[in-house]
Structure 1
Amino acid sequence: MSASEYVLCADTEAVAAAVPVLSGYSHLVVDCEGDQLGCRGGRLSLLTITPIRAASDQVPTYIFDLLRLKRKNMRRVFDLLRDASRVKIFFDGRMDYSALWHEYDVHVVGVIDMQLADLHSRQARGETESKRLGRLRAYLPQNMITKKSGECRTLARLSSLASCVQEHLRTNESKGSGQQSLISPGTTTNAYLCSVDHKRWLERPLSQEQLGYAAKDVRLIGRIYEHFKAQNYLTENLPEQSERYVTHWKARQPEKDRYFNPHCLLPLDIIDYDARRPTKRCDGCERLLAVQCFPRETTSSEGIYCWVCNAVLRKKAYNKRKHDNAKRGRRRR
């Protein structure tokens, strides 16, 4: 993405120029970058915002440098995120929300999350049970899928931004939509995401590569939103579900290295939430969940775990056995 398509806001004058432009739009795409983003001890570096606009409307993407700007300089920008009359579009906004809330006391409202919308699209497209289990096979041990498929009935594997773009936009283009691809032909699913070292988000000056990466992310999210809207994948209850989803870490920030935090399975009680159901606490994700989210036999010496955390534990045990077997194999040589 060329530098002319985004504006780096690193001083009060640039912020003052950006706010009136963004204020003129009802739908804003939001994404954040940082070191250990949203985690305890992490740091938010960039806040990137672009509006959903007509193709003829030449409005740049705005990248706000939060290491250069003081909190008071960002007040009007943060007010846009707090404004319930504007729709804020994220793709897996959990860590973005965590960083904004815990570091800047910004409660983002009016959110719709495209990662959840992607899950709804699978049902709308008639995804089969075989395809659903196929997605899980890329994460969970094969024997858990084949021998314990009942334990997988409540599990759904989330797509990354790159995978979602590949699945929806490339398919759309292959059917002759005429839309220009934002990922070059032949590029692997995650290649465009692998060119930036995320540990360097706190370094200054920022490279053109880093700024282009941040700007491209929000453009991709915007394209996904427009495609999902055209295909009627944005369900009526998506805003309510998205609020539960992005505020996942509102009560506390996650520990970066805690095993139950970084995984690609949909947390339970996000889509099918019912406040009337009795709950109990999971010792893995540390959330209060409906009792239906737990196996019948839930008590063990290690604690009580929901279906998702049970799957994460099984994967951990599988990885350990695989590592130990490989280690023993090397010793025999």
Structure 2
Amino acid sequence: MVKHRAARNTTIHLDFTVCNTEDTLAAAIQALQGSRTIFLDCEGEKLGLKGGCLSLISLGMPVPDAEQPRIYIIDALVLTVRTLRPIFAILETPDITKIVFDGRMDHTALFFRKNTKLRMQNVVDLQLAEVKSRARRGEGWMAQRTRLSPYLPANEVKRHVALYEEVHKLAGLEQVVREHQVDVPQEQLTAKANFTHKNWIKRPLSRTYLQYAATDIALIARLRAKFSAEGYLADAGVLAAQSLRYVNMWTHGPQPLLGDVYKLHALLPLGILILDDVTDEAGKYCAGCGRTLAQDCFSASAWKRARGRSCLVCRAIGVRLEWKDAFRRAVGKSR
């Protein structure tokens, strides 16, 4: 089993094990099967998208009295689906809690990989926990509007308050780590922000790429510890149900395509924070995201429309596209 230590000039010193043979994977499986909690993140080219490629499955497990989790970087490009089936079984068992941060594309990539149809069970998505924590931290409508305004025209959000009350801007892992003051050196986050993702399918992978994958697991582990201490994971059953709905978003239909603006955006999809499924009879189809949603996910006029209706989030994405197009036209005329 090949073990790597991050270079000494980095700010987080991580030990991780690369698993790219059946023997190295077997040792990782034995260790992971004994853990009640696993941190999960995947890396790849166009991860989760049709035509994309899953490169690495990164898994971590808590170690008693240790600051960092034990990390295994599993080479999904080299190892066969048959060899990886015990890993898939670990991800599917309800007996082990899987901690992810925005696990939608991770799960989609695993589900569609050579038709494995993997369905994770017992998942906690910290991105959802972060959105839910905002109200507990005292964020009201003004803070919500501030989060939306760089992504959407500020005047649009201000004029149509009722249409944006349930529209939330998502935050990425590095942003959440900063906002919640997780103990991570600033230069480490800067290095992640400047990272290039062009070579995930190149073999052998450079140490820089392996370090990046290991760092994501370490950040997820630290964020989970912070959220647990703050009480943001207290409603474990509810959050797990919402998380399962979230990571399974794109496994019930065709795999998302690159450029699908109504699926690949920075807003929280509607219908995730509810617990009851919406039937075709009770809901209506959104022409943007292609999902059947409840009446409160649409404006009154969209709900009455016979065809071409968009949910409130897809409506917002449409507004963003028009705004960007208008800006490009204005810039073009000024040249």
TM-score by length of 1: 0.90
Paired residues for 1:231-310 under 5 Å: 231-234=230-233, 235-236=235-236, 237-251=238-252, 252-275=254-277, 278-298=282-302, 303-310=308-315
SS in 1 for 2:32: helix
* Pair 1:320-2:325 in alignment: yes
Contact preservation (8 Å) 2:62, 2:68? no
Aligned residues: 317
Q: Percent identity?
A: 34
- 1:72 corresponds to: 82
- 1:173 corresponds to: none
Residues in 2 aligned to 1:301 and 1:141: alpha-carbon distance in whole angstroms: 28
Paired residues for 1:104-143 under 5 Å: 104-143=116-155
> Which of 176, 197, 201 in structure 2 is aligned with 1:164?
176
- 1:6 corresponds to: 16
Q: 1:60 offset after TM fit, Å?
A: 2.9
Contact preservation (8 Å) 2:167, 2:313? yes
Q: 1:78 offset after TM fit, Å?
A: 1.4
Residues in 2 aligned to 1:311 and 1:127: alpha-carbon distance in whole angstroms: 21
The residue identity in structure 1 corresponding to 2:215 is: K
Residues in 2 aligned to 1:168 and 1:59: alpha-carbon distance in whole angstroms: 20
Q: 1:142 offset after TM fit, Å?
A: 1.4
- 1:191 corresponds to: 190
Distance 1:59 1:293, change over 3 A: closer
SS in 1 for 2:181: helix
SS in 2 for 1:197: coil
The residue identity in structure 1 corresponding to 2:251 is: K
The residue identity in structure 2 corresponding to 1:105 is: K
The residue identity in structure 1 corresponding to 2:250 is: W
SS in 2 for 1:305: coil
The residue identity in structure 1 corresponding to 2:132 is: H
Residues in 2 aligned to 1:15 and 1:48: alpha-carbon distance in whole angstroms: 12
Distance 1:107 1:218, change over 3 A: same
Contact preservation (8 Å) 1:169, 1:224? no
The residue identity in structure 2 corresponding to 1:25 is: S
Distance 1:40 1:69, change over 3 A: same
The residue identity in structure 2 corresponding to 1:303 is: G
* Pair 1:228-2:227 in alignment: yes
SS in 1 for 2:198: helix
Residues in 1 aligned to 2:22 and 2:248: alpha-carbon distance in whole angstroms: 29
Contact preservation (8 Å) 1:196, 1:209? no
SS in 2 for 1:303: coil
* Pair 1:28-2:38 in alignment: yes
Residues in 2 aligned to 1:145 and 1:302: alpha-carbon distance in whole angstroms: 25
Distance 1:276 1:197, change over 3 A: closer
Contact preservation (8 Å) 1:183, 1:192? no
Q: 1:276 offset after TM fit, Å?
A: 6.2
Q: 1:303 offset after TM fit, Å?
A: 1.4
Q: 1:55 offset after TM fit, Å?
A: 3.0
Contact preservation (8 Å) 2:241, 2:275? no
SS in 2 for 1:45: strand
SS in 2 for 1:199: coil
Distance 1:58 1:212, change over 3 A: closer
Residues in 1 aligned to 2:27 and 2:68: alpha-carbon distance in whole angstroms: 15
Distance 1:300 1:8, change over 3 A: same
Q: 1:301 offset after TM fit, Å?
A: 10
TM-score by length of 2: 0.90
The residue identity in structure 2 corresponding to 1:164 is: V
Contact preservation (8 Å) 2:40, 2:217? yes
- 1:91 corresponds to: 101
With 206-215 and 127-136 compared, the bigger mean Cα shift is at: 127-136
- 2:160 corresponds to: 148
- 2:11 corresponds to: none
With 118-127 and 303-312 compared, the bigger mean Cα shift is at: 118-127
RMSD: 1.9
Residues in 2 aligned to 1:68 and 1:273: alpha-carbon distance in whole angstroms: 39
1:96-128 deviation per Cα after TM superposition (whole angstroms, max 9, x unaligned): 000001113221111010000001111111212
Paired residues for 1:206-221 under 5 Å: 206-221=205-220
SS in 2 for 1:38: coil
* Pair 1:82-2:84 in alignment: no
